[in-house]
Amino acid sequence: MQKRGRPSTQPPKLRDGFYIELRTHGATSAIKIIRKSMEEVERAMEMYSKNKIVKYLGQVKKGKWVDGDNKGKST
């Protein structure tokens, strides 16, 4: 069954939370992972850092980046 109608033109909004980026060594694409608290982010970074490149992107609150590289920008 196919979807009908015109596809959306707006990019999806990010939910409120803390974001990290995971990248495999030598890869160009990355995956964003959301966590609810900073403690969960630290635990996830420790777990994934054994075999992936991990980067902390920052916290999103009400559609804006609160900290990180994109601080003050909208999502």
Task: List, for residues 27-71, the tens digit of each pLDDT value.
Answer: 999 999 999 999 999 999 999 999 999 999 999 999 899 998 889
The pLDDT of residue 17: 96
The better pLDDT of the pair 23, 7 is held by 23
Residue 15 is predicted with a pLDDT of 93
Any idea where the domains of the chain sit in the sequence? 17-63
Contact 59, 34 (CB under 8 A): no
Q: For residue 9, give the amino acid letter.
A: T
> Cα dist. 17→14, 42, 45, 47, 50 in Å?
9, 13, 15, 19, 24
pTM of the model: 0.82
* CA angle (49 as vertex; 46, 16 as ends), nearest 5: 65
CA 36 to chain centre: 12
The average pLDDT across 6-24 equals: 90
In the numeric block, the tokens 């030598």 are attached to: 26
- Report which DSSP code applies to 8: P
